[in-house]
A and B are shown apart, each in its own frame.
Chain A
Amino acid sequence: MDLVALWFWLIALTFTLYFFLEGFDFGVDILRPFLAKNEAEERALVGTIGPFWDGNEVWVIAAAGVMFSTFPVWYGALFSGMYSVFVIILLALLLRGVSFEYRNQVDQPRWRNFWDWMSFLGSIIPAFFWGVTMAKLIEGLPINADERVLSGFLQLFTPFSVVGGLATLLLFMLHGANFLLLRLHKDTGLYERARAAALFWGALATVAILAFVVMGYVVEGLFTTFGVLPWVFPILAALTLGSIWYGLSTKRDVLAFLMSSLTIVFSTVTIFIALYTRQVVLPSTLDPAFSLGLRASASQPYTLVLMTWVGGIFLPLIVGYQIWNYYVFRERVRPDEGGLNKGYD
């Protein structure tokens, strides 16, 4: 494998890690209004993701940074082409990021309620729009002969991208519920409600994923360029649903979480396989000849070699200390202890 391919797959890896990690903290925030019945439970739910969400979010900054340096043409085209969607995502992330810190700074229910809304909206909006972005990555953007992208806000919404957004959103909710099963103390009402949520949203998520897969197959010819059998993916989705049901009903929380993680990994990787098999990083909807080619969009070897050294040193280190972070905060959270942090609330 040459360096261009290596970096293409490392970008795929950072996006996959981002969806896998931030997927569950988005999910927890989206489910929070449905699950928490009082302030103590609200805090317990924030506490499950408190020490992790910030580190999770950095993976998308890493994905963008790595894309900028190794595939500048791709980065410029995708980010300017998705301008309006990215503005919405950014504004949502801005409000979400401060909500965790600010909600407990003023001791008034109305103030907390406001920030709880901000963190709900700040999670549901990016969850949906990242799905739209991934769908557009396969569907393509109107790239002209000068490799400039001319797309308006409404053009970014097609049946395929909307279903992609919904599937991502529901999948993150399922993933978040499964994460809660690992993080909440077992003999609490909150834990049982999280399990019910996993079953309910899991069923909807599976329907949405199947719809996305079928549409991808029919409309976009998503799997026809694969060397893999096209129906492997629907089967995987079906298996996921089955195993989550099995995991939840037999209280195998780890299995359930593993399965929703795998679903996210498979879905993200599928999108990048679709691009890779066509040797295209961003298709053009105007004329296939204007599509951005994999090799034409990449940086020259000097930069790629440099980045390989940098990535080779720092990526394992980051993964290492992030795992340590999860290990330090491995203890399950109890609502009656006011969430995660005893000294600070």
Chain B
Amino acid sequence: MELDVLGLSRFQFASTSIFHFFFVSLTVGLAFLIAVMETFAYVRKDRARLYGNMTNFFGHLFLINFAVGVVTGIVQEFQFGMNWSEYSRFVGNIFGVPLALEVLMAFFLESTFIALWWFGKDRLPPWARLGSIWLVAIGTQISAFWIVLANAWMHHPVGYRVVGEQAFLTSFPAVVFNYKAWLYFAHVQGSAWTVAAFFVLGISAYHLLRRQNVDVFSRSLRIGLVFAATGTVFSISSGHREAQVARYDQPMKFAAMEAQWQTSESPAPWSAIASINMAERRNDFSVEIPYLGSLLAYNSLHGNYQGIIPLQQQYERTLGPGNYIPPVPWVYWNFRIMVGIGTLLLLAAYGGLFLWWRQREALNGTRWYLRVLLLLIPLPWVANFCGWITTEMGRQPFMVYGLLTVQEGVSANTTAEVLVGLIGLWVVYLALIGLDIYLLTVTARAGIHDKPEAQILAAPAPSYTGEGFQGYERRD
């Protein structure tokens, strides 16, 4: 990367997106889990306080994280104009619409009803309180949908026509029903559920290992398992399909994911480890598994795919001279780490379901399994970052695939101001991530206790006496 406006702006965009997604993936998933927990409190009136405590506990963690997700979202939105004004001018007609929809349909909903839910616990009737957390949960999903749809449009532009220096929207339905968007949405959604599920699983396991509040945490463990099982299957199956469609709508990305320099033969092998030599455009060595490449790309034992070098020649013919090869090692390795972690998480989730199916007590008492869950907490995040790097780096040098390169989209800023802004953002973001992790950890470890005065200094939590859930109980 070069230290010019373009290089710095790219780095700025990547940092903002990855930092933002650190917080948001947890928010999007956890909102749903908490809404489910509170629904249990509402429905199981005899256990209202138990589920109420669960909701309060995880709700407290949710709020710590939510605030940062909201504020980093503003940066995410503003940077299109600030760093990529030429891009904004080119596609604002189209790209701005899902962004505006995200704000109008989701941001207002989330920010207003989160306040009603948390602060309004002694002011609202139970149904309105429960409704508020569901609106927050739905809001986060709507928000994820529109931003992912906007991102998918950059990967696979549809429903537009280029006139002069601008791309004009010709069909909004085409943009909404972009198959790429729905695949991305399923994938991002599944990943967010996975992040939140393993977060809840790890924390529940921590307290079960210490035999604290077993009645609450054995239940949150089971709720978490259901979400983990659903989330991992969603993200793996949609991710598999995503890679398959990339083979024909972003062939260069697909080739980079497989480090395939020449067009493969049929049946194609799959490379598990490769030493990639970018300068000479070849792999120094590659450990290959026969047939697996075709199987993954086509769900069949036949079929080949194009290599990077023929694709480069093809792009030069159609789009003019230039380097259309993305940074292959980044795409290749991040893809493999993501897939590896995804498989591990799937096994962990279904292993848990198996223990649960055998016997309920087996789940609470299998200490090695609970320890594994504790260690797995950070892994879904790592997989997420690797996934974003794979898909975004694989799109290089294009900003809008096949239409606009990043070079053409950047603002006319000076290097100094972009650099200073970038440093400022990094300092603040690193501080926020550090604080977020610190506060989540101490709050999660403090656990649930009935007496507020017994709480540790760093995490003065709500008093967990079913606070705010009195109204949910059965009135005899």
Contact = CB atoms under 8 A, between A and B. Distances in A.
A310 interface: yes
Interface in A42-66: 50-52, 54-55, 57-58, 60-62, 64-66
Given A61-B74, A75-B92, A83-B413, A306 B439 contact: no
Contact of B123 (A75, A302, A329): A329
B108 A322 contact: yes
Given A83-B411, A101-B64, A73 B92 contact: yes
A286 interface: no
Contact of A51 (B73, B78, B119, B459): B119
Interface stretch (A29-37, A234-242, A335-343): A335-343
A58 B111 contact: yes
A97 B68 contact: yes
Given A98-B435, A101-B64, A300-B168, A83 B97 contact: no
A76 B92 contact: yes
Contact of B425 (A71, A91, A306, A318): A91
Contacts of A106: 439, 457-460
B2 interface: no
Interface stretch (A147-155, A166-174, A203-211, A267-275): A147-155
A183 to B, nearest CB: 14
Nearest to A98: B67
Nearest to A343: B467
A50 B119 contact: yes
B81 A80 contact: yes
Contact of A65 (B96, B168, B412, B443): B96
Interface residues of B, number: 81
Interface string B310-325: 0000000000000000
A243 interface: no
B26 interface: no
Given A55-B108, A68-B80, A69-B99, A299 B63 contact: no
Contacts of A91: 424-425, 428
A83 B96 contact: no
A231 interface: no
Contacts of B94: 303
Contact of B104 (A57, A100, A310, A342): A310
A8 B116 CA distance: 32
Interface string A84-97: 10110011011111
B439 A105 contact: yes
A230 interface: no
B100 A65 contact: yes
Nearest to A146: B412
A315 interface: yes
A78 interface: yes
B468 A303 contact: no
Nearest to B170: A302
B457 A98 contact: no
A302 B168 contact: yes
A95 B435 CA distance: 12
A306 B172 contact: yes
Contacts of B412: 80, 148-150
A328 interface: yes
B467 to A, nearest CB: 4
A245 interface: no
Nearest to A342: B122
A76 B88 contact: yes
Interface in A280-328: 299-300, 302-303, 306-307, 310-311, 314-315, 318, 321-322, 325, 328
A64 B74 CA distance: 9
Interface of B: 63-64, 66-68, 70-75, 77-78, 80-89, 91-97, 99-105, 107-109, 111-116, 118-124, 166, 168-170, 172, 411-414, 417-418, 420-421, 424-425, 428, 432, 435, 439, 443, 457-460, 462-463, 467-468
19 contacts: A51-B115, A54-B70, A55-B108, A61-B107, A62-B104, A68-B95, A69-B99, A75-B85, A78-B81, A83-B413, A87-B425, A94-B75, A95-B428, A105-B458, A307-B100, A310-B104, A325-B112, A340-B119, A345-B460
Given A302-B169, A329-B119, A341-B118, 16 more contacts: A65-B96, A69-B93, A80-B412, A83-B411, A84-B420, A87-B421, A87-B424, A91-B425, A106-B439, A106-B459, A106-B460, A303-B94, A321-B108, A329-B115, A329-B123, A340-B119
Interface of A: 50-52, 54-55, 57-58, 60-62, 64-73, 75-80, 83-84, 86-87, 90-91, 93-98, 100-102, 104-108, 147-150, 152-153, 299-300, 302-303, 306-307, 310-311, 314-315, 318, 321-322, 325, 328-329, 340-345
